[in-house]
Amino acid sequence: MNIVACVKQVPDTEAQIKVKADGTGIEEGGIKWVMNPYDEYGVEEALKLKEKLGGEVTVVSVGPARAMETIRTALAMGADKGIHIDDAALNNADAFTVASALCAAVKSLSCDVVFCGQRAIDDDSGQVGAILAELLGVPQVTMATKMELADNVAKVTKSIEGAQVVMEVQLPCVITTTKGLNEPRYASLPGIMKAKKKPVDVKTGADFGVSAELKAQVVKVLPPPARPPGKVLKADDTPEGKAAELAKALREEAKVI
Amino acid sequence: MGNGVFFVAEQRDGALRKVSFELASTARKLADALGVEACGIICGSGVSGLAADLGKYGADKVFVVDNAALEPYTTSAHTQAVATVAKDNGAVILLLAASAQGKDLSARLVGKLATGMASDCTEVRIDGGKLVATRPMYSGKCFGEVVIAGSPQMASLRPNVFTAVESGKAGAVTSVNVAIEPGKVKVLEVVKEASGKVDVTEANVIVSGGRGMKDAAGFAVLEELAGVLGGAVGASRAAVDAGWRAQSDQVGQTGKVVSPNLYIACGISGAIQHLAGMSSSKYIVAVNKDAEAPIFARADYGIVDDLFKVVPALTAECKKLVG
Ligand SMILES: Cc1cc2nc3c(=O)[nH]c(=O)nc-3n(C[C@H](O)[C@H](O)[C@H](O)COP(=O)(O)OP(=O)(O)OC[C@H]3O[C@@H](n4cnc5c(N)ncnc54)[C@H](O)[C@@H]3O)c2cc1C
């Protein structure tokens, strides 16, 4: 079984995000970079499949030089090798371009299952996995919360509003992963040592015949709209008094009940 | 031929989802700004009867692809249907819902149509004849304005953010035949959660609980308040990871992103990862006994007190008001 897990390096969820004064992006100074949390579920599921069925796990990442740390993290968790597509021209690429680069990398391997996080928590686009599936010409299941594999068929569960859908999907396929699927492991110390020696191929977009011809472009980044300061309700200084004051405010001021 | 603003209406079990009307009215606005038609697409089996309702919310035309292969929903079948209708009828803009199904379908369509999309938008407008979409990035810590160079210009809209406006016109209905190739995904089962339960992404009111609820039984007071307000019960990750609530109720970075009119956070501290899921709510209320809890910095109204005293009292007050 050959498995690919796509990973992206993103700001830690705790990171303060400051918009550049000219609105062209965010200030990257001081940010702690981590593996996208949704990608961790993909790496974990890939490793579980490998442990059960044998085979090899390749991690693929599109990103600047620092993305190598995230590839090493996946290798330390247990993945076998990596492909790092490091190309300044692809740094602010759109989903279609990134998926095209990943598609070329995946095609350079022969692969049964590709995992992607359901979205990356930086641009929050949530498109790459499905575009990749389309470009590869394979089926997809997005936002998987459960997966079992037997005889080249995966049984996958995803949740939609108010229901769980159980599907059977033929391999090869792309699965996008979300919370609930598994508990990602931490890299062990021996894992971290071993990861240093595992092979990582560094490629450019040109190596894969991909150029950044943007179809979607973020033209301006803005700070979130300011929220007016809230009110702390204190009527009577009793729970009942405060509750009554709140109900009245929601009814008469906010008009939401 | 034609150059309309298209939208994909979402239906389930033969009924249109609320977000479909939000899409119709938003397409109407964009179409008016461009001086073109607003066109709906409905895919499914036995769904022709749903078309008229979209007209009421602003669609000039509704294309119905009625085919047994479109039920139950699979990505492949719906991608073929929507891509064919959009291409054959010259869609310049294509809008979908950023719902579970819409996210799955829209991203596949981006690949199929080789274009670009702004996902999970909270605002869309026309500027210089082009779509300009505003969307939260970095979990709402900033916003991006996106333009699409590809065609059609695609955007998915966050449910509950855009207003559905009834205009009282009937749209012209066109039936379209699309040959659907069989796909490689088979739906085995759709397991529905408790009937009558509103999903947090679709609720107008959410009463959410965190670690402060103490245990699963603690949520009963929230269920009661939500019942009176016609809302849904949400949860923080702490409450979900403790096994008190289902994963599908989790709000936040690794849960759902919600935009109700009213979000009442009870016993939730307001960690940045929780705020990531609910900061686009129109009104936020916090009930927490710790006056220093970060949730108060985001709340429009705050009550510093024991939630087990405040929430039942609030339920009683709301009963009086709502009747
Ligand atoms: C990668 C990552 C992703 C994450 N994703 C999410 C996510 O999607 N959603 C999410 O919610 N969190 C998420 N978290 C976790 C987040 O950091 C917090 O740990 C979590 O939100 C805390 O939940 P809480 O507010 O319920 O609990 P706590 O922070 O423990 O807060 C409990 C609050 O209850 C109050 N309280 C206790 N008893 C009472 C009472 N009787 N009356 C009134 N108030 C009371 C306390 O004062 C306290 O403020 C994520 C974390 C990481 C690292």
Dist. CA B251–CA B267, nearest whole Å: 14
User: Do the bridges between strand B232-235 and strand B205-209 make them parallel or antiparallel, or are there none, so unpaired?
Assistant: parallel
Answer yes or no: is the C-beta of A37 below 6 A from any ligand 1 atom.
Answer: yes
Pair (B31, B170) in one structural domain: yes
Q: What is the mean pLDDT of chain B?
A: 96
Phi, psi angles (nearest 5°) of residue B201: -75, -15
How many alpha carbons lie under 13 Å from residue A40 in its C-beta half-sphere?
Answer: 16
* Min Cα–Cα distance to chain A from B274, Å: 10
Report the sign of the C-alpha dihedral through residues B113, B110, A90, A177, in that order: negative
Domain, as residue range, for B261: 205-322
State the best of A122, A164, A170, A215 to mutate against chain B, taking most chain B CBs within 10 Å.
A215
Dist. CA A141–CA A154, nearest whole Å: 10
Distances (CA, A) of B10 to A32, A199, B13, B102, B247: 39, 46, 10, 8, 24
> A216 and B282 in contact by Cβ < 8 A?
no
Nearest to A216 among B118, B140, B303 (CB): B118
Pair (A116, A39) in one structural domain: yes
Q: Which helix (DSSP H) or strand (DSSP E) does residue A144 occupy?
A: strand A140-150
User: What does the pLDDT look like over B242-270, one tens digit per residue?
Assistant: 999 999 999 999 999 999 999 999 999 99
Task: Using most ligand atoms within 8 A of CB, pick from B206, B214, B268 the residue to mutate for ligand 1.
Answer: B268
> B188 and A155 in contact by Cβ < 8 A?
yes
Q: What is the mean pLDDT of chain A?
A: 96
Report, in angstroms and rounded to the nearest whole number, the Rg of chain A calculated over CA atoms: 22
Pair (B225, B165) in one structural domain: no
Pair (A32, A140) in one structural domain: yes
Domain, as residue range, for A16: 2-208
Pair (B168, B262) in one structural domain: no
Residue A214 lies in a domain: no
Pair (A78, A176) in one structural domain: yes
pLDDT band at A83 (very low <50, low <70, confident <90, very high): very high
Pair (B138, B219) in one structural domain: no
Contact present, B318 and A245 (Cβ < 8 Å): no
* Min Cα–Cα distance to chain B from A7, Å: 16
What's the pLDDT at B143?
Answer: 97
Question: Residue A130's closest CA among B256, A139, B186?
Answer: A139
Pair (A189, A242) in one structural domain: no
Nearest CA in chain A to B185: A169
CB pairs under 8 A between A and B: 281
Atom of ligand 1 nearest to the CA of B214: 38
User: What does the pLDDT look like over B174-203, one tens digit per residue?
Assistant: 999 999 999 999 999 999 988 778 899 999
DSSP single-letter state for residue B294: G
Dist. CA B50–CA B57, nearest whole Å: 12
Distances (CA, A) of A72 to A61, A114, A184, A242, B178: 11, 18, 15, 53, 47
User: What does the pLDDT look like over B127-162, one tens digit per residue?
Assistant: 999 999 999 999 999 999 999 999 999 999 999 999
User: What does the pLDDT look like over A165-218, one tens digit per residue?
Assistant: 999 999 999 999 999 999 999 999 999 999 999 999 999 999 999 988 899 999
ipTM > 0.90 (yes/no): yes
Pair (A45, A10) in one structural domain: yes
Q: From the CA of B295, how far away is ligand 1's center (Å)?
A: 10
Dist. CA A134–CA A136, nearest whole Å: 5
Report the number of distinct structural domains present in chain A: 2
Which residues sit opposite A149 in a β-bridge? A154
State the best of A160, A181, A221 to mutate against chain B, taking most chain B CBs within 10 Å.
A160
